[in-house]
Chain A
Amino acid sequence: MKRAFPILAILTAILLSYGLYQALVVAPTEQTMGDVQRIFYYHVPSAWTAGVLFFINFVASIVYLARRNSKVDALALAAAEVGVVFCTIVLVTGPIWARPVWGIWWTWDMRLTLTLVLWLIYVSYLMLRRFSTSGQTPVIAAVLAIFGTLDMPLVYFSIWFFRTQHPQPVMGGGGSIDPRMLHAFFVNLIAFTCFGLLVCWSRYRLEVLRREVEELQALESLLELRSPR
């Protein structure tokens, strides 16, 4: 994987550039919203990638509770952190899109509120990981992550369960979409997913390395205590 990483990074960069070109140049302008609709090509893939990463965090948390493997815990942490970055983008690009279309930056609509709650859950997860000194922190964090994941289906299905201002999905929601729009969307969806997974992998490697250094430092201070010069 270490050798493949630069190649995958270059391929992802090419895919992201192609996605940007598709979104800004090739995809036709939407008739009702105009050019601002192109935010869709970044907003939805970011939400999807955040979902994928939170799901990885969920699976890793379950595996950690079952096996207590430190590397799985590192993966859970990495996925949550990168997931929060993508979720932040969703919460930033959403209001920028809403302002010209709805006339408001934010409304306490069910999908928007639940997405904010999801973000807050994972931010609290990261704060717990950062500031708690208890040896039980990974276990508590894993439990919090499992409960946090319960919010994800609520976010997704909220547009069907509740009356909401957020639009229904274009794909699978009975609407039709121009093939060029569909192409631009899927290119960006794949590009963002690859990018998210690559960043998550880098963060995972960093976390594993950090833990190894911490162990070495602890061992060193223990040796210094045993044999004072």
Chain B
Amino acid sequence: MTYLYAAYIATWVIHIAYLTSLLRRYSRLRNEINELREKH
């Protein structure tokens, strides 16, 4: 069972890590858009 859980946990850790990186990139981009808006 250890290997089974390890595989399932690894799958979701990779997915969550990637989704977190996407969210970070989104928020960075939002900040850049807000900066552009403030300038104009």
Contact B39 A220 (CB under 8 A): yes
A96, CB-defined interface residue at 8 Å: yes
Taking CB atoms, residues of chain A closer than 8 Å to B1 are 35-36
Inter-chain CA distance A161–B11, complex, in Å, is: 30
Residue of B nearest to A94 (CB): B7
Q: A42-B11, A213-B32 are in contact. Are A85 and B18 (CB under 8 A)?
A: yes
Interface of B is mostly: helix
Inter-chain CA distance A173–B12, complex, in Å, is: 30
A150, CB-defined interface residue at 8 Å: no
Taking CB atoms, residues of chain A closer than 8 Å to B4 are 35-36, 38-39
When each residue 1-40 of chain B gets 1 if its CB lies under 8 Å from chain A and 0 otherwise, what string results? 1011011101100110011001001100100110010010
Contact count band on A: 20 to 34
Contact A85 B36 (CB under 8 A): no
The listed residue (A38, A202, A220) touching B22 by CB distance below 8 A is: A202
Contact B36 A220 (CB under 8 A): yes
When each residue 94-108 of chain A gets 1 if its CB lies under 8 Å from chain B and 0 otherwise, what string results? 001101100000000
Taking CB atoms, residues of chain A closer than 8 Å to B7 are 39, 42-43, 92-93, 96-97
Contact A206 B29 (CB under 8 A): yes
When each residue 191-224 of chain A gets 1 if its CB lies under 8 Å from chain B and 0 otherwise, what string results? 0000100010011001001100100110010000
Taking CB atoms, residues of chain B closer than 8 Å to A199 are 18-19, 22
The listed residue (B3, B6, B36) touching A217 by CB distance below 8 A is: B36
A46, CB-defined interface residue at 8 Å: yes
CB distance from B17 to the nearest CB of A (A): 9
**Which 6 pairs between the two chains have the least Cβ-Cβ distance?**
A96-B7, A93-B7, A39-B7, A85-B18, A92-B10, A36-B3
User: What would be 6 A-B contacts, judged by CB atoms less than 8 Å apart?
Assistant: A20-B8, A85-B14, A92-B14, A93-B7, A206-B29, A213-B36
Given contact pairs A35-B1, A89-B11, A99-B3, enumerate 8 new A-B contacts (beta carbons under 8 Å).
A36-B4, A42-B8, A46-B11, A82-B18, A85-B15, A199-B19, A210-B25, A220-B39
